[in-house]
Amino acid sequence: MAQLWGGRFTKETDKLVYNFNASISFDQKFYEQDIRGSKAHVAMLARQGILTAEEKDQIEAGLDGILADVKSGKLEITSEYEDIHSFVEANLIDRIGDAGKKLHTGRSRNDQVALDMKLYVRDEIDETDELVKKLLEALQKIMEENVHTYMPGFTHLQKAQPVTLAHHVGAYFEMFVRDRSRLADIRKRMNTCPLGAGALAGTTYPLDREYTAQLLGFDGPTRNSMDSVSDRDYVIELLAAFSTIMMHMSRFCEEIIMWNSNEYRFVEIDDAYSTGSSIMPQKKNPDIAELVRGKTGRVYGALTSILTTMKGIPLAYNKDMQEDKELTF
């Protein structure tokens, strides 16, 4: 299959190189964000007179059809395509003909993938924030029910002063409140639209970047085109915030694990959320809490990986940055 970038090439890409270079196996997760961004881009092109109203309508209908068919399972995203952008564009051309070839006008895959990543991260922030909010509601319920439940407070794992369970759990409540604040900060800071940056230096087409940003719910366009395509600070910040959330969850799980032990007997984990032993029937194991504690390492690993990947990259876009997706997913 012809590549979007294949204009000057006369020789087929080696199959091993193609497979190593391709990102469709993971960036297919972006299909909704990619189509959302393309529809906004096309609406802007038509508004600027770069596309006709008829071409805009054709392209939008084609994109809506692709989205519906992928969601329903009628259209499968396969490794025949190098990336999600190629998949969408090739299928659009198959469906609507030459008008589909104009989708990429005034756009590079560099600013396109930067947009997809920002839309995805923004969605993830909103979803995670809602989950942390539910966690806070659960903690608040425990606090309200245990204002007069007394327990020892500890320092150095030794009994220190009496406290209430509400006060102890309240410490975790404060941690997760800060976590929501961090997520909100990241969302606000990264909420600028990179579309229009092109490969790194914009385009000669008279794009209206403000309008595209508005259509996609951004506060405005990014200010520097080279930074637009090479910035992954928001991914690093997201994984740092996730690492902090996991650290807080891991600490909480560590206490549940101790409190559930025969030595403490502060709590008993419900049968629905624990496991038994194949050889010791008296056991009730806090496996879920242990797994949360264990999986914290994966999130830390993702943060360390993206920091290491980004540290030596010169301006502007480099293929190394493709690594950000799997780590974030």
- Which residues are bridge partners to 150 per DSSP? 164
Distance CA 194, CA 115 (A): 6
- Domain span at 50: 15-102
Whether the per-residue pLDDT at 2 is higher than 60: the answer is no
229-230-234 Cα angle (round to 5)? 100
| Range with the poorest average pLDDT among 19-33, 57-71, 240-254 | 19-33
The answer to whether residues 62 and 184 belong to one domain is no
Instruction: Report the domain count for the chain.
Output: 2
The answer to whether residues 90 and 115 belong to one domain is no
CATH number at residue 23: 1.10.275.10
Q: What is the pLDDT of residue 4?
A: 57
Q: Is residue 310 part of a domain?
A: yes
Q: Is residue 218 part of a domain?
A: yes
Residue 13 vs residue 199, higher pLDDT: 199
Q: Do the beta carbons of residue 274 and residue 286 sit within 8 Å? A: yes
38: buried, middle or exposed (CB in 10 Å: 19+, 13-18, 0-12)? buried
Whether the per-residue pLDDT at 58 is higher than 70: the answer is yes
Q: Is residue 63 part of a domain?
A: yes
Q: How many CB atoms lie within 10 A of CB 253?
A: 20
Predicted TM-score (pTM) of the model is: 0.92
Mean pLDDT of 92-100: 97
The answer to whether residues 23 and 151 belong to one domain is no
Mean pLDDT of 203-223: 98
DSSP codes joined into one string, 176-228:
HHHHHHHHHHHHHHH--B-TT-TTTT--SS---HHHHHHHTT-SSB-S-HHHH
**Percent of the chain residues past pLDDT 90, beyond the cut:** 91
Please compute, for residue 251, the number of CA atoms within 13 A of its CA located in the half-sphere on the CB side: 12
Q: What is the pLDDT of residue 282?
A: 85
The answer to whether residues 149 and 291 belong to one domain is yes
SS3 30: helix
Quickly state the pLDDT bin for 1 (edges 50, 70, 90).
low
The answer to whether residues 144 and 173 belong to one domain is yes
The answer to whether residues 45 and 137 belong to one domain is no
- Which residues are bridge partners to 152 per DSSP? 162
The answer to whether residues 158 and 300 belong to one domain is yes
Q: Is residue 234 part of a domain?
A: yes
Give the domain-ending residue among 68, 85, 102: 102
The answer to whether residues 35 and 93 belong to one domain is yes
Give the domain-ending residue among 87, 102, 117: 102
Q: What is the pLDDT of residue 323?
A: 96
- Alpha-helical (H) ranges within 97-164 are 109-145
Distance CA 32, CA 121 (A): 13
- Strands 158-164 and 150-155 turn out to be antiparallel
Q: What is the pLDDT of residue 229?
A: 98
CATH number at residue 207: 1.20.200.10
The answer to whether residues 303 and 241 belong to one domain is yes
Q: In b/e form, how buried is each residue of 170-190, taking b as 16+ CB within 10 angstroms?
A: bebbebbeebbebbeebbeeb
Distance CA 252, CA 293 (A): 9
Host H or E run for residue 164: strand 158-164
Q: Among 243, 277, 278, 305, which one carries the catalytic annotation? A: 277
φ and ψ at 315, to 5 degrees?
-70, 145
**Average of per-residue pLDDT values in the chain:** 95
Q: Among 72, 148, 156, 278, which one carries the catalytic annotation? A: 156
Q: How many CB atoms lie within 10 A of CB 167?
A: 16
| Range with the poorest average pLDDT among 76-90, 102-116, 215-229, 273-287 | 273-287
DSSP codes joined into one string, 4-28:
TT-TT--SPPPHHHHHHH--HHHHG
| The token pair that represents 292 in the structure block | 């949360």
23 is catalytic: no
168 is catalytic: no
The answer to whether residues 245 and 121 belong to one domain is yes
Q: Largest alpha-carbon pair distance within the chain?
A: 78
Give the domain-ending residue among 67, 102, 137: 102
Whether the per-residue pLDDT at 79 is higher than 70: the answer is yes
Measured on CA atoms in the order 27, 31, 32, 35, is the torsion positive or negative?
Answer: positive
Q: What is the pLDDT of residue 169?
A: 98
Please compute, for residue 74, the number of CA atoms within 13 A of its CA located in the half-sphere on the CB side: 8
Q: Is residue 199 part of a domain?
A: yes
Q: Is residue 284 part of a domain?
A: yes
The answer to whether residues 170 and 314 belong to one domain is yes
The answer to whether residues 206 and 302 belong to one domain is yes
**pLDDT, tens only, 6-56:** 555 567 778 899 888 899 999 999 999 999 999 999 999 999 999 999 999
Mean pLDDT of 142-169: 98
Q: What is the pLDDT of residue 15?
A: 85
Q: What is the pLDDT of residue 290?
A: 97
Mean pLDDT of 166-189: 98
| The token pair that represents 247 in the structure block | 């650290």
**pLDDT, tens only, 98-150:** 999 999 999 999 999 999 999 999 999 999 999 999 999 999 999 999 999 99
Q: Is residue 204 part of a domain?
A: yes
Measured on CA atoms in the order 20, 21, 25, 29, is the torsion positive or negative?
Answer: positive
Q: Is residue 60 part of a domain?
A: yes
**pLDDT, tens only, 274-294:** 999 889 988 889 999 999 999
